[in-house]
Amino acid sequence: MNNTQQDLIALEKLENSRKSFFNEINKIVIGQQKILEYLLIAILSRGHSLLVGVPGLAKTLIIKTLADVLDLSFKRIQFTPDLMPSDITGTELIDIDSQTSQRSFRFYQGPIFSNIVLADEINRTPPKTQAALLEAMQENKVTAGGKTYSLDEPFFVLATQNPIEQEGTYPLPEAQLDRFMFSLKIEYPKTEDEIAIVRGTTSKSQTSLNAAIKKSDILSYQDLVRRVPVAENVIEYAVKLVSATRPESDLAPKFIQQSIEWGAGPRASQYLILGAKAKAILDGRPSPNINDVNSLALPILRHRVLPNFNAEAEGLKVEDFILRLIDSIEQ
């Protein structure tokens, strides 16, 4: 059996895994289908996600349920102003051997040593502690006490932010924002969904979840995403779209030059292609197209494109510019 046949078999297996995933997760999470699709794409693309929404919209529940359905280890870190970097990565403590009474340093792993890490209210802790996530998110490694420790794969950071209460918060630095593949806005549920939520959460019934995708399968699907072929015109389109967000670029239309302070970097282009690949195989297609790129442009670009003062003064949102840009780029 050649590699192409093996990939086609893996594609069929992924389709069944996707159905099982949504069947299980929808037992607990009502609505938010688009968010769940984005999170699954991010996991297969080896990306991280930032969830932004007001309190009470089940951000934490979504992430906890995701870990249960994917049969992955899960740790939650509540970010507070007094949280230290060692509270995330781990710390070295003195151990005493009970037989020899010799003392030695031993590293105790922090909550970052997990498959899925929930960084709850990440903007409530100082930049020094936020930076402790940087190496882990980029390199899948942690350095402590002069030693480097590898993190177990798959490794997926899901951070949450509350957009309302900004007092006493520390906005994420651009370098760290860029590490997140997606910035996802959690909206209020539809009326019928909210009725189902209230009915389900105020009754005595309990729902048990089954693991829909095994850890080993997730790793194989991640490798499959990397092997998916992409047409040259799709790659060129993704790069042109990202380049057009930069006001100094020759490809930037006039409204971008007038209203954007700075645009997205090359990592956005990489994530557009990786995300398009993952979306394609989740939909049962062997290769992505330009529509896949466009469907992911908003969550990938919204935290990488910064409107200038004039745009903010006029009440214009970054999402408006991205959608307008998609319409203006030649396919």
pLDDT tens-place string over residues 60-74 = 888 888 888 988 999
Per mean pLDDT, which of 63-72, 167-176, 295-304, 311-320 is the most reliable?
A: 295-304
pLDDT confidence bin for 331, thresholds 50/70/90: low
Q: Which residues contact 69 (CB under 8 A, 6 or more apart)?
A: 21, 24, 25, 209, 210, 211, 212, 213
- In this predicted structure, the answer to whether residue 137 has a pLDDT above a threshold of 90 is no
Tokens 């968010």, residue located:
35
Nearest CA-CA partner of 131 in 85, 163, 188, 90 = 85
Number of CB atoms found within 10 A of residue 225's CB: 22
Task: List, in order of start, the domains of the chain with CATH numbers.
Answer: 3-86+114-216 (3.40.50.300), 231-328 (1.10.8.80)
CA–CA separation, 134 vs 132, rounded Å?
6
Nearest CA-CA partner of 247 in 235, 264, 268 = 264
CA–CA separation, 269 vs 104, rounded Å?
47
Average pLDDT for 219-223: 93
Q: Which residues contact 138 (CB under 8 A, 6 or more apart)?
A: 179
Tokens 């177990």, residue located:
152
pLDDT confidence bin for 11, thresholds 50/70/90: confident
- Checking DSSP bridges between strand 49-52 and strand 156-161, what pairing results, if any? parallel
pLDDT at residue number 167: 63
- Checking DSSP bridges between strand 182-185 and strand 49-52, what pairing results, if any? parallel
- In this predicted structure, the answer to whether residue 163 has a pLDDT above a threshold of 90 is no
Q: Answer with the residue of higher pLDDT: 15 or 41.
A: 41
Cross-strand partners of 49: 158, 182
CA–CA separation, 217 vs 20, rounded Å?
13
Backbone angles phi, psi at 250, to 5 degrees: -65, -25
User: Cα 68 to chain center, whole Å?
Assistant: 17
Nearest CA-CA partner of 37 in 328, 324, 295 = 295
CA–CA separation, 167 vs 124, rounded Å?
9
E-only strand ranges, 138-291: 141-144, 147-150, 156-161, 182-185, 260-262
Q: Which residues contact 160 (CB under 8 A, 6 or more apart)?
A: 50, 51, 52, 53, 59, 60, 63, 118, 119, 120, 121, 122
**Is residue 3 within a helix (H) or strand (E), and if so which, with residue range?**
helix 3-25
Token pair, residue 312, equals 């903010």
pLDDT at residue number 166: 62
- In this predicted structure, the answer to whether residue 255 has a pLDDT above a threshold of 80 is yes
**Is residue 17 within a helix (H) or strand (E), and if so which, with residue range?**
helix 3-25
- The answer to whether the beta carbons of residues 295 and 237 sit under 8 Å apart is no
